[in-house]
Amino acid sequence: VNRYLAISSPLSHSRRVTRQRVTLAIISIWVLSSAVAFVPINLGWNTADYNIQHSDWGMGDEDKEGRYCHFEWNNNYVLIYAFVSFYLPLLLMCGMYLCIFKVAREQVRRIRATTPAFVRSATATIAREHKATVTLAAVLGAFVICWFPYFTFFTCKGIKEKANPPNIFHSIVLWLGYFNSTLNPILYPAFNRDFRQAYGELLHCRGPQCRKLQFTRVPLDKRLAFVNEFRVSQQSQKHIDTAKIETEDNNLT
């Protein structure tokens, strides 16, 4: 959603996406993710008999089931969890990226028809947003490749009567999904120079010499406002110069 707003409305993006809204969105995402991950398991919704899994841990003998970790899947839980946590967000993200690419293609057509002065001021910002979009598209592709096998296996096994999945294949597809978290710190700097610079400043640039080189990136709307003010001031100065010349001519006559 943030990428779509940045591409479709670059001038108003900084006003819409504020620090307070971003903080609220991050907190909401963490709260919702924690609720989806922990609440069903701690209430026993994921087991076949709706009992809390391993609640008798440590109470039995070593040769009894209570001392061993095993999987229990409830068919309804599997289908709802897979749809809510993976398939629905995946469809929404793919739909948003489709809208982003349509808007980006339309922007390229508009840029070609604009004046050179506006192209110089707007193309850099739009190109940077497009690069960020390509980066997130690569991250989305890696996410699909790593997690789609697990959720496909998870769904297929969940709708069957057998509640216990094969441990070996389940471990392979599960760790493939976990491997996605390792790829993200590699993909971000690989596709986007801004991330590489941020990583460099975070990991290496901590001294006073580096702090002097840091600069603040001015949003496009503020730059355009500055250009407009500069043009107005130039026009005002021209009027003043013209008035002075006319006054001098009148004095001479």
pLDDT at 162: 58
Contact predicate 163/53, CB 8 Å: no
Q: Are 111 and 92 in contact (CB under 8 A)?
A: no
Nearest alpha-carbon partner for 107 in 228, 218, 220: 220
Q: pLDDT by residue (tens digit) across 13-50?
A: 778 888 898 899 999 999 988 888 888 878 877 777 77
Beta strands in the chain (DSSP E): none
Computed on alpha carbons and rounded to an integer, the radius of gyration of the chain in Å comes to 29
* Superfamily per CATH, domain 73-241: Rhodopsin 7-helix transmembrane proteins (1.20.1070.10)
The span from the CA of 222 to the CA of 235, in Å, is: 20
* Distant-in-sequence, close-in-space partners of 146: CB < 8 Å, separation ≥ 6: 176, 177, 179, 180, 183
pLDDT at 31: 94
Rounded to whole angstroms, the Cα distance separating 138 from 179 reads 15
pLDDT of residue 185: 84
CA gap 119, 223 in Å, rounded: 13
Block mean pLDDT (10 aa), the chain, length 253: 75 81 92 86 77 58 53 77 88 85 74 57 58 76 90 81 68 90 84 78 61 46 48 53 57 55
Distance in angstroms (rounded) separating the CA atoms of residues 97 and 3: 9
How many residues make up the chain in this entry? 253
Q: What is the pLDDT of residue 64?
A: 52
Residues 144-159 have pLDDT tens digits of 999 999 998 888 877 7
> Looking at residue 115, what is its pLDDT?
53
Q: What is the pLDDT of residue 189?
A: 81
Domain extent listing, the chain = 73-241
Residues with Cβ within 8 Å of residue 125, at least 6 apart in sequence = 10, 220
Predicted local distance difference test score (pLDDT) of residue 39: 85
What is the model's pLDDT at position 218? 46
pLDDT of 158: 73
Q: How far is CA 120 from CA 106, 115, 123, 206, in A?
A: 18, 9, 6, 33
CA atoms within 13 A on the CB side of 200: 12
